[in-house]
Chain A
Amino acid sequence: MTSSVRLIMAALAALLLALGGTACGSDDEEESAGGGGGATSATLIEKDPANASKTITVGSKNFDEQVILGEVYAQALEAAGFKVERKLNLGDEQVIYKALKAGQLDGYPEYTGTSLTNFFDLKVKDVPKDPDKAYELAMEEYAKQDITALPRTQFENTYRVGTTKEKQQSLLKGATTLSEVAKLPNADDLSLSGFATCRQRPDCLLGLKSLYGWSPEFVADEGKYDPIDKDRADLGVVFSTDGELTTGKYAVIEDDKGLFPPYNVSFGIRNDALKKIGPKGREVILAVQEPLTEDAMRELNSRVSLDKEQPEEVATQYLKEEGFVK
Chain B
Amino acid sequence: MTFELVAQGGLERRERSGVGCIAESGFCPDWIADNYDRYITPFFEHVYLTVVSVAIGFAIAFTLALIAHRRQWLVGPITGVTGTLYTVPSVAFFFLLQPITGLGNTTAIVALVCYTLLIIFRNVITGLRAVPADAKDAARGMGLTDRQLLLRVELPLALPEILAGLRIATTTTVGLAALAFLAGGGGLGAELDEQPFFKSNVAVAGGLAVLLAAALDVIILTFQRLVTPWQRAAA
Contacts and interface: CB of A to CB of B under 8 A. Distances in A.
Tell me, yes or no, whether A and B come into direct contact in the complex with CB atoms closer than 8 A: yes
A34 B12 contact: no
B3 A42 contact: no
Contact of B14 (A37, A39, A222, A307): A307
B142 interface: no
B16 A246 contact: yes
A256 interface: no
Given A308-B22, A308-B31, A308-B201, A36 B11 contact: no
A35 interface: yes
* Consensus secondary structure, chain A interface: loop
Contacts of A156: none
B5 interface: yes
Contacts of B18: 247-249, 306
A302 B16 contact: yes
B10 A322 contact: yes
Interface string A218-237: 00001100100000000000
* Consensus secondary structure, chain B interface: loop
Contacts of B235: none
Given A41-B10, A308-B22, A323-B10, A151 B16 contact: no
A310 B38 contact: yes
Nearest to A154: B3
Contact of A299 (B5, B13, B25, B197): B13
Contacts of A37: 7-8
A308 B31 CA distance: 9
Contacts of B195: 308
B1 interface: yes
Given A34-B4, A246-B16, A306-B23, A322 B9 contact: yes
Contacts of B12: 299, 321
A38 interface: yes
Interface residues of B, number: 27
A34 B31 contact: no
Interface in B42-90: none
B38 A293 contact: no
A95 B50 CA distance: 28
Contacts of B1: 132, 151-152
Given A36-B4, A132-B1, A247-B18, A322 B201 contact: no
A296 B22 contact: no
Contacts of A295: 13
A291 B35 CA distance: 29
A293 B9 contact: yes
Given A246-B16, A247-B16, A248-B18, A154 B6 contact: yes
Interface of A: 23, 33-39, 41-42, 132, 151-152, 154, 222-223, 226, 246-249, 290-291, 293, 295-296, 299-300, 302-303, 306-308, 310, 318, 321-323
Given A23-B7, A308-B200, A318-B11, 9 more contacts: A36-B4, A151-B1, A293-B6, A293-B9, A296-B11, A302-B16, A306-B22, A321-B11, A322-B9
11 contacts: A41-B9, A132-B1, A152-B1, A154-B3, A248-B18, A249-B18, A302-B14, A307-B23, A308-B31, A322-B9, A322-B10
Q: Which 4 A-B pairs have the closest CB atoms?
A: A34-B4, A247-B18, A322-B10, A291-B9
